[in-house]
Amino acid sequence: MIITVASFKGGVGKTTTALHLATYFQNKAATLLVDGDLNRSALDWSTRGSLPFKVVDEKQAVKYARQYEHIVIDTPARPNTEELKTIAEGCDLLVLPTSPDALAMGATLQMVDFLGTLDTNYRILITLIPPHPSRVGEEAKAAIERAGLPIFKSGIRRLAVFQRAALEGIPVNAVKGDAYSGIAWRCYYEVGQEILP
Ligand code: ADP
C-alpha cells in the first residue's frame, strides 16, 4: 500500500502522522518511509534516535521501493495544485492531517475542494486535539462529517509525549517513563486499524 500524508499548512502534525503510520505498518510488513518534506524532518528524526523502519529521501525512494510492502510518504508542506495532483494520484490513500483550529481547517477544506476534481482516495485526520473541557476536536469532526467529507473516526490528541518522541528520535510507543506514551500510540494505532486492520 502507498499512503501519502499532505497538508496545506505547516505544524499540523504531518510528519508526526507519517512517522507513526509507518510504525503501525511496519508491524504488519516491511515498510519504507519516504521523506519528501524539504525540511527533512523525518530523516532528522531518524538520525537523532532510531526508528523501527527505513527512512529515505525521495531521490532514493525509487531504488528502495520494490523491497517494501508498504510505503508511507511525507510530502512538502503547502503543495501547489500541480504538485498536489501528482501526490494525490500517486498513492492508494491520501491522509490529510488538520488541527481543529479555523486556519488549519480552512486550509484543509481548500485542499479538499481541489481534490474533489481528481480521482483520488483521501481521508481527513484531526490532530492536536486539546484536552477536555475543550470540545474543538469534536466540533471540527462534526463539521467535516456534516459537509459529507471522508474523515477518520479516530483523532489524535495533543500530548506533550509526541514532542518528547520527536526529540528522542523514536516513535511515541518507544518513549520510556511517560504515562501518556501508550495513550498517544493508541491514537495512531486506531487510525492504522481504520486503514488496514
Ligand atoms: P508538520 O509536519 O505538519 O509541520 P510536525 O509533525 O512536524 O508537523 O509537528 C509540529 C510540531 O508539533 C512538532 O513539534 C511536533 O512534535 C508537535 N506535535 C505533532 N503532533 C502532536 C500531538 N499530537 N501532540 C503534541 N504535539 C504534537
**pLDDT tens-digit profile of 102-124?**
999 999 999 999 998 998 999 99
* For the CA of 37, the nearest atom of ligand 1: 2
Domain regions of the chain by residue span:
2-195
Phi, psi of 96 (to 5 degrees): -115, 95
State the Cα–Cα distance between residues 138 and 130, nearest whole angstrom.
10
CA of 66 to the centre of ligand 1 (A): 30
H-state helical runs in 49-195: 58-65, 81-89, 102-115, 136-146, 161-168, 181-195
Give residue 129's pLDDT.
Answer: 98
Give residue 71's pLDDT.
Answer: 98
Is the pLDDT assigned to residue 47 strictly greater than 90? yes
| 18 Cβ below 6 A of ligand 1 | no
State the Cα–Cα distance between residues 134 and 145, nearest whole angstrom.
19
pLDDT tens-digit map of 176-189: 999 999 999 999 99
Give residue 32's pLDDT.
Answer: 98
State the Cα–Cα distance between residues 167 and 161, nearest whole angstrom.
10
CA of 157 to the centre of ligand 1 (A): 11
* Residue burial 22-36, b: 16+ Cβ < 10 Å; e: rest: bbbbbeeeebbbbbb
Residue where the block lists cell 531504488: 63
**CATH number for the segment(s) 2-195:** 3.40.50.300
Closest CA to 56 of 26, 75, 33: 33
Is the pLDDT assigned to residue 38 strictly greater than 90? no
Nearest CA to ligand 1 atom 7: 15
Taking the model in full, what pTM does it have? 0.98
CB 189: neighbour CB atoms within 10 A? 16
Nearest CA to ligand 1 atom 13: 163
Per-residue confidence band for 77, with pLDDT thresholds at 50, 70 and 90: confident
